[in-house]
Every structure is written in structure tokens, then in C-alpha cells.
């Protein structure tokens, strides 16, 4: 059971929920990733099939170790081209976010259509269609706010349909993408919550999020490649989030890098390509905000496993590690 009766949990509820008990609200946001360059399909459907193989990824992120009820994110995706000209891609993405008494599950089918823009590059148009399942169980916690001591009730398997779009221009050396993964701004209401014996509306709002990404692969030696990458994330009513990363790939096997999330965190990244099919990666974030200076936060970690099967061998794709 999660209890909000000490400083650690006061920090958590303040950061995540911003509860206002005369009309409770939670502002939903998309999951956050440090290794976004390997997990592009989760926020840009145009990435679907662009690896020209049956590609799958499992990613787990634990944010803010030591903080009870802090976010746990589980991501599973699989996608592939489905025609011999590799113009059409189909995929499936499942993301589950658990934060305190809330659990959110996103299930999306993704589609892309690719056109050649040169002999070496393509432009993909993406569409995703799916839904969002929200669970909130306030019976699992006791709030520290005396006004809300009688808070009870839940939202159970509240389903909301949604869709998103994206663009992805890419070659073996570069990529630029823009996407809006959830266009519908859904509000969830529940009349079952009670505060001081008065029925209240519970509101959880999903806000539209905009993503702009880019990266390039440079040769810096016979066995070394360098890839800077950028992600800009904009949400209505929130500051612009900028993630800048720099990765080095050695001998097409070992990846070492660092990243900076503007006014939020610094990160270290490492990855290893076992063979042409399997890759594993790990990232560690350290907060640069006041939260990072507390004894309750030991940083965040992220690990992923990716596979690529049935690759098209008519093209050299080894320089690409996004």
C-alpha cells in the first residue's frame, strides 16, 4: 500500500498528480524515454517498417529509484515491411505506465507508407489507431491532505480511442521525424469518488504532444561512427522539453554515449550489438533538478532488448544504429 504521509510521498504526489480536491485532475502525458532513438515507433508511427526487417523491442524504464510509486514504464513493439518493395509497413505498439495508484495502457496498431525521395533516402507517412486504458485506484493510498482523508473510489478500465500521425525522412545515415501520437484530448470523469461525503468529478486529461526528432551518422575513423541526436517534445501548457544525445559506435558492436535533458537530467548510455539480429542497451539518468538532490531519488534507469529478423540483404545498413 502506498501512503502519502511523509516527505518522500509528498514529493511524488506533488510532481505527478497536482491534485486539486475541489475538482480533482490529473494531466496525462506520454511516457518519457532516454533511448528514444531506438524506440521511435512508440511516438512516431511513420517509423514502422523502416528497419526493413521484422523488428521488435522490449524496453523497461524505472524512473526515480527510491521514490515510492514513481513511474514504471513497460514498452513492447514489433513492426515490419509487408510488401516486396518495402513501401508499406505494419506494426503493433503496447506501452504500460504505472505511477502510484494509476496504470495506463496504450495499445496501437501502426501503419506507414514509404516513398523514395532519392536513390538513398525515403519519406514515410505514418498513422496509428488504437486506444488508451486508464485505471486509478485511490483505495490503495492514504493522502496526506486532511481535506481528502475520505477520498475513495476508482476508475476501472476506462477505455478511450485515439489516433496519431507522423512523418519520417531517413536514409542509412540520417533521420528527421515529426509526429503527434495522440490527437484526441480525452477527459475522463468518474462520479464514484467521494470527498467529505460529497460526490466529485475526477478528471484525467490526455494532452496533445508534439515530437520533433533528428539524427545523423558520421564516420570518424575506420572503426568508429558518431551519431548526435535531438528530440524536442512540446505539450500544451508545459515547458518545451529538449533531449540532446551523442553516441559513438565502435566496430559496429559497442555503443557508448551521453545525453542531456534540458534543465532536467544528464544520462549515460551503453549498448552492445551481439550480432546482426540482437542488441541490448542500458541508460542511467541523474536529475539536475532539486529532486535529484534529495535522499529519496537514486536516479532513473532504462534497459532495452531489440531484435531484427529476416533482414533485406540487398542494402548495406550497418552504419545505421537508430
More confident residue, 142 or 49: 49
Of how many residues is the chain composed? 322
pLDDT given at position 263: 84
User: Is 242 a residue whose pLDDT tops 70?
Assistant: yes
Measured between alpha carbons, how far is 110 from 284 in angstroms, rounded to an integer? 29
User: Is 258 a residue whose pLDDT tops 50?
Assistant: yes
User: Is 24 a residue whose pLDDT tops 60?
Assistant: no
Supply 176's cell numbers.
Answer: 528527421
Q: What backbone torsions phi and psi does residue 71 show, to the nearest 5 degrees?
A: -65, 135
Q: CB–CB of 97/61 below 8 Å?
A: no
Which of 35-44, 123-132, 141-150 has the least mean pLDDT?
141-150
**DSSP run (H or E) holding 292:** none
Supply 305's cell numbers.
Answer: 532488448
**DSSP run (H or E) holding 81:** strand 72-81
User: Would you give the distance in Å from CA 199 to the centre of its chain?
Assistant: 34
Q: CB–CB of 283/264 below 8 Å?
A: no
Band of residue 17 on the pLDDT scale cut at 50, 70, 90: very low
Measured between alpha carbons, how far is 270 from 254 in angstroms, rounded to an integer? 8
More confident residue, 240 or 27: 240
Band of residue 246 on the pLDDT scale cut at 50, 70, 90: very high
pLDDT tens, position by position, 290-304:
665 555 667 899 999
Supply 138's cell numbers.
Answer: 485511490
Work out the mean pLDDT of the chain and round it to a whole number: 82
User: Is 151 a residue whose pLDDT tops 90?
Assistant: no
Number of Cβ within a 10 Å radius of residue 50: 26
Is beta strand 224-235 parallel, antiparallel or unpaired with respect to 241-250?
A: antiparallel
Looking at the chain, the whole-number percentage of residues with pLDDT higher than 90 is: 54
Q: What backbone torsions phi and psi does residue 296 show, to the nearest 5 degrees?
A: -95, 0
pLDDT tens, position by position, 263-318:
889 999 999 999 989 999 999 999 887 665 555 667 899 999 999 998 765 544 45
Looking at the chain, the whole-number percentage of residues with pLDDT higher than 70 is: 74
Measured between alpha carbons, how far is 64 from 286 in angstroms, rounded to an integer? 9
pLDDT tens, position by position, 75-97:
999 999 998 788 999 999 999 99
203 burial (CB, 10 Å; 0-12 / 13-18 / 19+) is: middle
DSSP 254: E
Band of residue 153 on the pLDDT scale cut at 50, 70, 90: low
- Give the alpha-carbon dihedral of 43, 73, 232, 213, to 10 degrees: -40
**DSSP run (H or E) holding 12:** helix 7-16
- Give the alpha-carbon dihedral of 40, 304, 87, 253, to 10 degrees: 110
Which of 40-54, 108-122, 132-146, 216-230 has the least mean pLDDT?
132-146
pLDDT tens, position by position, 181-218:
999 877 655 555 544 544 455 555 677 899 999 999 99
pLDDT tens, position by position, 29-70:
677 899 999 999 999 999 999 999 999 999 999 988 777 778
Measured between alpha carbons, how far is 104 from 102 in angstroms, rounded to an integer? 7
Looking at residues 14-37, what average pLDDT do you find?
A: 60
User: Which residue do the cell numbers 533528428 mark?
Assistant: 214
pTM for this predicted structure: 0.84
Q: CB–CB of 168/124 below 8 Å?
A: yes
DSSP states of 186-250: -EEEETT-EETTEE--EEEEEPPEEEEEEEE-EE-SSSEEEEEEEEEEEETTSPPEEEEEEEEEE
Is beta strand 224-235 parallel, antiparallel or unpaired with respect to 218-219?
A: antiparallel
Looking at residues 241-267, what average pLDDT do you find?
A: 94
Measured between alpha carbons, how far is 233 from 237 in angstroms, rounded to an integer? 12
Amino acid at each position: 500500500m502506498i501512503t502519502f504521509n511523509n516527505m518522500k510521498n509528498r514529493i511524488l504526489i506533488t510532481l505527478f498528480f497536482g491534485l486539486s480536491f475541489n475538482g480533482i485532475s490529473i494531466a496525462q502525458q506520454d511516457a518519457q524515454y532516454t533511448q528514444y532513438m531506438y524506440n521511435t515507433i512508440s511516438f512516431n508511427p511513420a517509423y514502422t517498417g523502416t528497419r526493413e526487417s521484422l523488428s521488435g523491442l522490449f524496453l523497461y524504464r524505472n524512473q526515480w529509484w527510491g521514490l515510492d510509486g514513481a513511474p514504471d514504464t513497460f514498452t513492447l513493439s514489433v513492426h515490419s515491411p509487408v510488401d516486396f518493395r518495402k513501401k508499406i509497413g505494419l506494426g503493433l505498439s503496447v506501452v504500460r505506465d504505472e505511477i502510484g495508484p494509476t496504470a495506463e495502457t496504450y495499445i496501437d496498431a501502426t501503419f506507414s507508407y514509404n516513398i523514395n525521395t532519392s536513390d538513398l533516402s525515403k519519406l514515410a507517412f505514418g498513422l496509428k489507431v488504437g486506444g488508451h486504458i486508464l485505471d486509478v485506484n485511490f483505495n490503495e493510498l492514504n493522502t496526506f491532505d486532511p481535506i481528502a482523508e475520505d477520498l475513495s473510489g476508482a476508475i476501472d478500465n476506462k477505455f478511450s480511442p485515439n489516433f496519431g500521425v507522423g512523418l519520417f525522412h531517413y536514409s542509412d545515415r540520417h533521420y528527421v521525424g515529426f509526429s503527434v501520437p495522440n490527437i484526441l484530448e480525452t477527459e475522463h470523469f468518474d462520479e464514484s469518488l467521494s470527498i467529505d461525503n460529497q460526490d466529485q468529478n475526477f478528471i484525467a486529461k490526455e494532452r496533445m504532444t508534439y515530437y520533433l526528432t533528428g539524427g545523423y551518422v558520421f564516420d570518424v575513423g575506420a572503426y568508429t561512427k558518431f551519431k548526435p541526436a535531438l528530440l524536442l517534445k512540446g505539450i500544451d501548457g508545459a515547458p518545451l522539453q529538449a533531449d540532446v544525445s551523442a553516441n559513438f559506435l565502435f566496430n559496429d558492436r559497442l555503443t557508448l554515449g551521453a545525453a542531456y535533458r534540458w534543465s532536467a537530467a544528464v544520462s549515460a548510455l551503453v549498448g552492445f550489438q551481439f550480432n546482426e539480429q540482437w542488441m541490448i542497451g542500458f541508460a542511467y539518468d541523474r536529475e539536475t533538478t532539486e529532486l535529484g538532490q534529495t535522499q529519496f531519488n537514486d536516479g532513473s534507469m532504462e534497459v532495452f532488448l531489440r531484435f531484427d529478423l529476416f533482414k533485406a540483404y540487398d542494402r548495406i545498413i550497418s552504419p545505421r544504429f537508430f
